Structures are given as C-alpha cells and as structure tokens.
Structure 1
Amino acid sequence: MIEVYVDGASAGNPGPSGAGVFIKADGNVIRASQPLGNLTNHEAEFEALIHALSICIDNEFQSISIRTDSQLVSSSVDNRYVKNRNYQPYLTHALALVDRFELCFIKWIPSSKNKVADELARKAIPLNTA
C-alpha cells in the first residue's frame, strides 16, 4: 500500500497558497511542492489532495492510503459530501480521481504527524507569482 501525505497551506485566508505532497512508494519517496495562487486554507487542502491523487495516477499506483491533517477533507471524501457549497467543485474533482483507484483510503492524522507535507506546502507559498 502506497502511503500518501498531503497538506495545504495559505499565507492569509485567502492568500498565497501551496500544496505539499509526500509519498512513500515501495522504498522510493516522492516530494512535491505546488504553488496554488490565492486560496483559502480549506481550498488549499483540497487542492493538495487533488495534486497528490494526480501524481499517484501518473505513477500508476493502484492502492493508496492518504493521510491529511484536514478533518474537512478527510470527512468530505469519506462521506462523499461537503456541506459548504464553495468546496463542492473540489470534492467532485477529488472523488472522480479517487474512483480511479482499486483501493483508496483516507485518514485524518494530527498535524504533528504530517510535518513533511506541511513543510513542502509552506515551501510552495513563495513560488506564487505576484
């Protein structure tokens, strides 16, 4: 099972944002930092998930276990529902990607267990162009 850690970060809410992805795959490691433009923190969290899912699809992974410190993202994917309509497009996109895997689990973890993805997300923030 491929372990996937995701995190989104924003310098302001909304503000310049970044996605961090850390993947442990069969002894290999993938690290990704992606600038996201101006988003809210929750939007950045969803975008980080979408970015991670895309990387996993590109690498033809079939079984993944995702860890996020965003309770909103974790519960939204688990329940396939989000109450706030502003996040519905993000959830719809993420679920379309999730459904392409043979197995895909998502689990909430505390921020203290998601430090690498958090560092990668924060590293992406200054990469946004003005």
Structure 2
Amino acid sequence: MATVYIDAATKQNPYFSVGAAVIKNDSETFEETYILGNIDNNEAEWATLLRTTERLVEFGITHAIIYTDSKIIVDTFIKNFVKDMRFKSYYNKVNELSKDFSLFLVSLIPREENKHADHLAKTRLYKESK
C-alpha cells in the first residue's frame, strides 16, 4: 500500500503555483513536483491531487492513502459534494481514476506533519520564481 503526502505552494501577484507529492510504496519513495501555472492555492491543491493520482495509476499502484492538509479537499470526499464548482472537474476526474483502486482514501493531516511535501513545493516554487 502506498502512503502519499501532497501539498501545493502559490506565489501571489500574479498567481503561480507548484504542487508536490511524496509517494512511499513498499521500500521505494518517489518525490514529484508539478508546475501548475497561474492558479490560486486552493485550485493548486486540487491539481496536485489529480496529478498525483494520475502518477499512482502510471506506477500501477492500486492501494493508496493520500494525506493532505487541505480541509476543502478532504471535506469534499467525506461529503461527496463539491461546494465550489471550480473544483468539480478535478473531483470528478480523481473519482473516475480511483475506481481502478482497491483502496483509495484521502485523509486530513496537520500542516506540521506534512512538512516534506510542503518543503518540496516551496523549494520548486522558489526555483521557478527566480
């Protein structure tokens, strides 16, 4: 089973966002960063979840727990309801991809326990913003 940590970082004025994932599967650990472009941080969190889920599919992973510090994302999966329609397409795509998983959970983690993914996202954002 894979344990996955995701986070996003965003620069303001103009918006520029980067996402990151730490994927731990058996004895392997993969660190991923994604340039997400000109979107706000909430959308960047969703884009990171989608890109990471796509990567899990590419890796052939079918059991995953994804940890995020985004309460909006976790609440959406708990309620099966998208409050902000900007995120509906992300939610639908992730749900569609997750149908091929035997286990797919999205769980809330405190920010202080998500430091590795946060650091990866902020480091890549800093590099891209130079």
TM-score (norm 1): 0.91
What pairs with 1:1-130 in structure 2 (closer than 5 Å)? 1-12=1-12, 15-126=15-126
Task: Output the CA distance in 2 between the equivalents of 1:81 and 1:128.
Answer: 34
Alpha-carbon shift at residue 66 of structure 1 (Å)? 0.7
Task: Output the CA distance in 2 between the equivalents of 1:14 and 1:41.
Answer: 12
SS where residue 101 of structure 2 aligns? coil
Q: Give the share of equivalent positions with the same residue, in percent.
A: 29
Aligned amino acid, residue 45 of structure 1: E
Cα distance change on mapping 1:79 and 1:26 into 2, 3 Å? same
Aligned amino acid, residue 44 of structure 1: A
Task: Output the CA distance in 1 between the equivalents of 2:44 and 2:68.
Answer: 12
Task: Output the CA distance in 1 between the equivalents of 2:39 and 2:14.
Answer: 5
Q: Is the 8 A contact 1:5 1:68 kept in 2?
A: yes
Cα distance change on mapping 1:112 and 1:50 into 2, 3 Å? same
**Structure 1 unmatched ranges of 5 or more:** none
Aligned amino acid, residue 92 of structure 2: T
SS where residue 76 of structure 1 aligns? helix
Task: Output the CA distance in 2 between the equivalents of 1:95 and 1:125.
Answer: 28
Count of residue pairs the alignment pairs up: 130
Aligned amino acid, residue 110 of structure 2: P
* Cα displacement string for residues 71-117 of structure 1 (whole angstroms, at most 9, x for unaligned residues): 00111123221111111111111211222211111110011000111
SS where residue 81 of structure 1 aligns? coil
Q: Which has the higher contact order (CA 8 A, sep 6+)?
A: 1
